[in-house]
Amino acid sequence: MTEAKTEAPDLVIVGAGLFGLTIAQQAVEKLGVRVHIIDVRDHIGGNAYSYIDPATGAEIHKYGAHLFHTSNERVWEYVNRFTDFTDYVHRVYATHDGEVYPLPINLGTINQFFHAHYTPAEAKALVEEQAGELAGTDPTNLNDQGISLIGRPLYEAFIKNYTAKQWQTDASELPASIIKRLPVRFNYDNRYFKDTWEGLPEDGYTAWFEKMIDDPRITVSLGTDFFDESQPLNKKALLEAGVPVVYTGPVDRYFDYQLGELKWRTVDFKEVRYDEDDHFGCPVMNFSDADVPYTRAIEFKNFRPDRADEQSHDSTVVWEEYSRFADRDDEPYYPINTDEDKALYAEYKRLAAEEPQVVFGGRLGTYAYYDMDKVINQALIAFDKQVAPLLER
């Protein structure tokens, strides 16, 4: 990664997240062009950026837990060019009413919750019976939708209050469309993801991202605002010069919010340190009850049991996660995607289509939530279909 810009770039990428980094890597590899990346933050990697906590040796995911998983062979082969992955398998647990249960809801969760020893068939029949409480109705809110999917007992224990905390809204006041389905496994499989491959980058996320753009034809300017006309690679100057741009910032911000603001949710983190080797015994603990104000806690050192010898055994760091509606100056995490938001994004998408030298991508540029592998896949496709034709003109 080169900080200094020595020649005029053939392509400017706004945002050093996975979408932008993938486009940059593909552009220099396939077309040999000069690429300059700018980012308003002081680091590359977007929300997947990580760093080592000096006190514990844990790799901290600055914007919340990021776990790589995919069933896309093209993406898996691509990312393995830049990093090896650990054999980490993600498992999540939930604390409810003073007791810890495995998630997603599976046969172990069900038998523990009902103090029973149901067979898979018996557990399935029980859930179907309990979900039948609202048979013949058309749920109009999240509360009724949840009950109709998995029955009242399991829904109220593990979903209702957790979701209410996520949305800062009582479940009876949330639309049913938020929950399309609730997975219940009628076996003891508590592997969280069902993808073919998963793991964490062996040397950390930042080392992976640095390797992606380790080419003298890729230069980077951090702490640089695309909309700041006092710096040369600003929106107005680039458009006037006809330089192709890949924009991964908020799509409504690009158009100066002229149609209105798209709504997002954000996350706040409260750091807690404990003078002990291991506090939760797992990387992620959900808190399903309303009397705990945060949704979950992340204990970072437990993502990397392979690095136990490099981490402190006398202290550990935990981040408690609080969800709320985002203001304009907050980090946007999850699009709210109401019908009004979807209609507004459709209008912005029409405006974006009228920008011939700009390719919009990533979460913020397309008002969508993507897992990391989906972002990379979208970037690979966007390079072939949109970016390369711009550069080959």
CATH number at residue 147: 1.10.3110
Picking from 145, 178, 211, the residue at the C-terminal end of a domain is 178
Q: Which of 268, 229, 215, 286 is nearest to 36 (CA)?
A: 215
Question: What are 340-390's pLDDT values in tens digits?
Answer: 999 999 999 999 999 999 999 999 999 999 999 999 999 999 999 999 999
- CB contact at 8 A, 164 and 290: yes
Picking from 119, 145, 178, the residue at the C-terminal end of a domain is 178
- How high does pLDDT run on average in the chain? 95
- CB contact at 8 A, 27 and 391: yes
Q: Is residue 266 part of a domain?
A: no
* Together in a domain, 140 and 170: yes
Q: Is residue 53 part of a domain?
A: yes
Whether residue 69 has pLDDT greater than 90? yes
* Together in a domain, 377 and 253: yes
Question: What are 166-220's pLDDT values in tens digits?
Answer: 998 888 888 888 888 888 999 999 999 999 999 999 999 999 999 999 999 999 9
Distance CA 203, CA 107 (A): 36
Query: What b/e sequence results for 181-208 when a residue is b if at least 16 CB atoms lie within 10 Å of its CB, and e otherwise?
Result: ebebbbeeebebbebebbbbbeebbbeb
The pLDDT score that the predictor gives to residue 267 is 96
The pLDDT score that the predictor gives to residue 174 is 85
Picking from 120, 145, 178, the residue at the C-terminal end of a domain is 178
CATH number at residue 243: 3.40.50.720
Q: Is residue 196 part of a domain?
A: no
Residue 119, C-beta contacts closer than 8 angstroms, at least 6 positions apart: none
Q: Is residue 98 part of a domain?
A: no
Query: What b/e sequence results for 349-386 when a residue is b if at least 16 CB atoms lie within 10 Å of its CB, and e otherwise?
Result: eeebeeeeebbbbbbbbbbeeeebbbbbbbbbebbeeb
What share of the chain in percent tops pLDDT 70?
A: 98
Q: Is residue 171 part of a domain?
A: yes
* Together in a domain, 245 and 207: yes
Rg for the chain, CA atoms, rounded: 23
* Together in a domain, 32 and 166: no
Question: What are 94-122's pLDDT values in tens digits?
Answer: 999 999 999 999 999 999 999 999 999 99
pLDDT classification of 4: cutoffs 50, 70, 90: very low
* Together in a domain, 378 and 254: yes
Question: What are 210-266's pLDDT values in tens digits?
Answer: 999 999 999 999 999 999 999 999 999 999 999 999 999 999 999 999 999 999 999
Q: Is residue 30 part of a domain?
A: yes
* Together in a domain, 80 and 21: yes
* Together in a domain, 113 and 80: no
* Together in a domain, 170 and 118: yes
Report the run of H or E that residue 333 belongs to, with start and end: none
For residue 274, CA distances in Å to 6, 40, 124, 245, 318 come to 47, 33, 41, 46, 8
The pLDDT score that the predictor gives to residue 5 is 47
The pLDDT score that the predictor gives to residue 1 is 52
* Together in a domain, 77 and 129: no
Annotated active-site positions, please?
Answer: 181, 185, 265, 296, 321, 369, 371
Count of domains in the chain? 2
- Mean pLDDT for 317-342 is 93
Q: Is residue 185 part of a domain?
A: no
* Together in a domain, 246 and 340: yes
Distance CA 91, CA 191 (A): 5
* Together in a domain, 61 and 158: no
The two three-digit tokens of residue 268, written as one number? 């706040």
pLDDT classification of 3: cutoffs 50, 70, 90: low
- In the chain, the amino acid numbered 137 is T
Whether residue 6 has pLDDT greater than 80? no
Whether residue 293 has pLDDT greater than 80? yes
* Together in a domain, 22 and 151: no
Q: Is residue 325 part of a domain?
A: no
Domain that holds residue 36: 11-85+203-259+335-392
The residue whose two tokens read 């008002």 is: 367
